[in-house]
Structure 1
Amino acid sequence: MELHILEGENGKFPLLLDDEMKIVNPVYEYMKKLKSDNKAENTLIANGRDLKIYWDFLIHNYYVYDEITPRHIQQFREFLFKENPYDSTPVLYQESKRTPTTINRILSTIYNFYVYFGEVHEVGNPILMKEINRGFNVFKGFLEHARATNTTVHSIFKVKEVKSDFNILTLEQIKQIRNAIDNKRDRLIWILLASTGARIQEILGLQINNVPYIDHSEEMSILKNVKSKGKKRDILIPTQTLIELDNYIMEERYNVDADHDYIFVALNERDKGNPLSYSAIYQSFEDIKAKVGFNFNFHDLRHTFATNLVEVGIDVIVIKGIMGHKHVSTTSQYIHLAKKYEKEVLTDYWKKVGKLEVNDESELS
């Protein structure tokens, strides 16, 4: 099995081919459906990779995709855990080569694949679901009262995930990374991430027509209609950072011959002028990690930005808009990240009002 990434005028499209280099039609049909739903390119490619893993499993076991049962899905789940999935030796305890989050994502892809084929071709969905109680959420929707029950459904094959803490960078670390970058393109990308809280794919997807005319009387400006997870959104940007971006376009970008309007392009000889890919910028920053001596990734800046907004007291609904979150529950996670700040604020409060003693009869104003 091979997954080919086709590139055309309408973007990238994953194409799964079998060992005879023939198109795997069910996957192709599902990919076309996702494409018609305007799913982001990264989502398409991730789904293509997940389905390639699943089809490898089916072919190896001589299974047919529309004859799969829950027992086969349980077998596939075990397949995902194994270091060598084609070794039939039973192992009770082993280190999985995939994280629980990755396994759950793959299972979710397979579930949605069967949801589609169940609706269109009446193929049964072998991934069983079970009802569970919803967790308490202070940010309930306006129609929460209209729900018949307080339950939701989860796959019975879901793997337990251990939630890891976000890596919040200090201002000193952000500056240290910036100073370690030795070219204008990557330094500007880092500054854009740090000053807007944007996703790395949003920055890589910036085009010249996203950049507005600069109003020097305004402290904040707006990058309009930026590609974001298959849709478009506006991104607030400090005007000073916008000036740096505009200067980069005039002084650097226009010197590169390209038949597109993407701002950030590859500079190496082989790919020069092509839109800058995530893998290329990722590799570039791997070298920076070695220079600064601590670990970080692009999304750490987004987490840091959102947490800082919470800490200065900005309303969570406003932060939701700034970050481009679809659901306020996504934004609310940063409230928990700000607990350290709350502790500092409360400490300052008690310092100002003084300690309360058991026998102190004075009233606290």
Structure 2
Amino acid sequence: MTLVRDVAGLVVPSTMRVVSEPTLCWVIRDDGGGVVEPVREFMAELTANGTSPATRRSYCHDLLRWLRFCAAIGTTWDQAGTQDVRDFVRWLRAAPNPQRGRAGSGSRPPAGSVNAVTGKSYLRAGYAPRTINHALSVLSAFYAFMYESGRGPWSPVPAARPPREQVPARRARYRQKVPAFQPRAVSEEGLLDLFAGLRNDRDRALVAVALSSGVRAGELLSMTAKGIDAGQGVVAIEPKGGLGSRIWVPAAPESFVWIARYLAERPSADVDGPLWLTLRPPHRPMDYFALRQVLERVNGRLGTNYTWHDFRHTFSHRILADDRMTLTDAQALMRHRNLDTLNAYAAARLDELVAALHRHLATPAPCPPSSSIRYDAGDLAVLFPGLSS
């Protein structure tokens, strides 16, 4: 009889670590400094398939969690079974996400609470359902590669699409149900308050570009001083999964005004280097943490919880609400591979639903229809003698 493992009291060691590596970008090293070879071989496979460094880094962190969990339950990756995968999912559902405890998070509201201004929830303390599902997909791909190359067992992760006659469920075993979130577009009033709360032209230029072009945070940080063409109204970015290539995307004329104001006071640097620099010396290219702090400061002043991806949602919401824009226009501007991805952005915002409901409630109910035909009372008495009694 198999006993259910107590994952609540399980102590997962912080052994091994993900480190950068010149040719494969990211690998896992053990406490002695040695490379975990199975993961290294898998990274070589991903490199040959043309995956981005960010993808390989993400895969390494998922495998790191799995290897640490295997060490905690006294097994190895090639000896683990399906029940171990099940308990891994149970542990992820119960364990706190260490990223929620990073520096500066002590002053934030409780995890999972709702912001009174924006109506958005703060991140929960544990691992999100999407994170758990991604981890299972990574493990499945890792075991499939090791099995096909003859260096590992058959995957202990249940198939992503099981036969319906075996499992009467829409999701595969251990796959988490992902809740449907409301659109994260910022209201026009919220944007005015946010823009008024920014303290310098660099931050105003950042928000203006993000809001008028829909670029992601990483794409925004990839902009260079030479990648600006105000005459054409476009900026050059390295798109998600671009692997070093650059494309031109349109932006609003106002954003170029703020960029010009920022460049007028920007400290001298490499003219072909990164566009966005830190304000305090020594001036360095902004990273994601510095970019996130831009909104953290204004969120603290306004009592909000806006993120950079909210501007992408706002951009897409504006595009989809414009009758002059086609769906293919929206797809091209958002740089989505298929139209189905736009479904998440097409729903109405909460403030729009509230306004629509208020308009409905304020509209008087229509009068019931009345017939314009009149019958003689005497004729009705002859036809229906007992009707009037």
TM-score (normalizing by structure 2) = 0.71
The percent of aligned pairs where both chains have the same amino acid is 19
Counterpart in 1 of 2:27?
Answer: 15
Alpha-carbon distance, 1:211 to partner:
1.8
Alpha-carbon distance, 1:31 to partner:
2.7
Counterpart in 1 of 2:188?
Answer: 171
Counterpart in 1 of 2:221?
Answer: 204
Change (3 A) 1:236 1:357: farther
Change (3 A) 1:33 1:189: farther
Change (3 A) 1:174 1:347: closer
Q: Distance in 2 between matches of 1:245 and 1:259?
A: 14
The answer as to 2:266 corresponding to 1:236 is: no
Q: Distance in 1 between matches of 2:82 and 2:212?
A: 48
1:1-365 equivalence runs, <5 A: 1-6=15-20, 13-83=25-95, 97-121=126-150, 123=152, 124-129=154-159, 131=161, 155-212=172-229, 214-215=231-232, 221-224=233-236, 226-231=237-242, 232-249=246-263, 251-253=264-266, 255-258=267-270, 261-269=273-281, 272-273=283-284, 275-313=285-323, 314-337=325-348, 358-359=369-370
Which string of whole-angstrom CA distances, capped at 9 and with x for unpartnered residues, describes residues 316-353 of structure 1?
2211111111221111222223697699789999x99x
Change (3 A) 1:207 1:214: same
Does the CA-based 8 Å contact 1:57-1:76 persist in structure 2?
yes
Does the CA-based 8 Å contact 1:210-1:223 persist in structure 2?
yes
Change (3 A) 1:267 1:55: farther
Alpha-carbon distance, 1:190 to partner:
1.0
Does the CA-based 8 Å contact 2:225-2:271 persist in structure 1?
no
Alpha-carbon distance, 1:73 to partner:
1.0
Q: Distance in 1 between matches of 2:170 and 2:17?
A: 32
Does the CA-based 8 Å contact 2:225-2:274 persist in structure 1?
yes
Q: Distance in 2 between matches of 1:111 and 1:43?
A: 15
Larger radius of gyration: 2
Change (3 A) 1:130 1:282: closer
Range that drifts further, 36-45 or 66-75? 36-45
For residue 158 of structure 1, give the secondary structure of its aligned residue in structure 2: coil
For residue 67 of structure 1, give the secondary structure of its aligned residue in structure 2: coil
Alpha-carbon distance, 1:63 to partner:
2.3
Does the CA-based 8 Å contact 2:212-2:252 persist in structure 1?
yes
Does the CA-based 8 Å contact 1:167-1:303 persist in structure 2?
yes
Amino acid at match of 1:79: W
Alpha-carbon distance, 1:58 to partner:
1.9
Q: Distance in 2 between matches of 1:20 and 1:53?
A: 18
Change (3 A) 1:358 1:333: farther
Alpha-carbon distance, 1:109 to partner:
2.0
CA RMSD between the two structures: 3.7
Does the CA-based 8 Å contact 2:183-2:349 persist in structure 1?
no
Unmatched segments (≥5 aa) in structure 1: 86-94, 135-151, 216-220
Does the CA-based 8 Å contact 1:211-1:246 persist in structure 2?
no
Amino acid at match of 2:126: K
Q: Would you tell me which structure has more strand in proportion to its own residues?
A: 1
Amino acid at match of 2:286: L
